[in-house]
Homo-oligomer: A and B are copies of this chain.
């Protein structure tokens, strides 16, 4: 295995695009989620995110990051207005449409009108869900932390509703994402379909030994 090495100085000297591609893909696969929001004046918004991460299960929390100060961010503005949003998983058939939500549309233009993705309202949740996503979450904004190292915001949210295609949910609560053809993101623009290899037992000391 021939390895290449880059130092922090090398990384600084790369062109902006080269560095964006490299650093966005160097931490591994990321989740592929569409965040749905609606402004208080009724404008719907849908945007793809790759930074949504599980934070804790009791209470059920997730977090994601954004940069509200660099460019207009409809998602952030809408969440601040009414506190609710939806998280919708991207499945294989939705890749092109989901990626297109990253195009910079004006606030009054809904990504639902510019793509084949359709909004769906469930229960009394103010924010739109994405119809045909195999998993969709109704989330409530709780807090934000300003990451001073690069002026990002970390948003913390509670998972208040879970909608899941029944065949994905296994007997012990585990969600078999593969059965929903849920995709993962590689870098800024690569979409991959994971195949389950194995589920492993809870690890206890001394079950595996290197030296006997």
Contact = CB atoms under 8 A, between A and B. Distances in A.
Contact of A206 (B29, B65, B114, B209): B114
B191 A197 contact: yes
B172 A201 contact: no
B186 A176 contact: yes
Interface stretch (A37-45, A73-81, A144-152): A144-152
A164 B24 contact: no
B27 A204 contact: no
A11 B99 contact: no
Residue from A52, A87, A99 whose CB has the most chain B CB atoms within 10 Å: A99
Given A97-B208, A166-B2, A192 B177 contact: yes
Interface of A: 1-8, 11-12, 14, 16-33, 50-63, 65, 87, 89, 92, 95-97, 99-105, 109, 113-116, 122-123, 132, 134-135, 137, 142-143, 145, 147-150, 152, 154, 156, 158-167, 169-170, 172-178, 182-184, 186-211
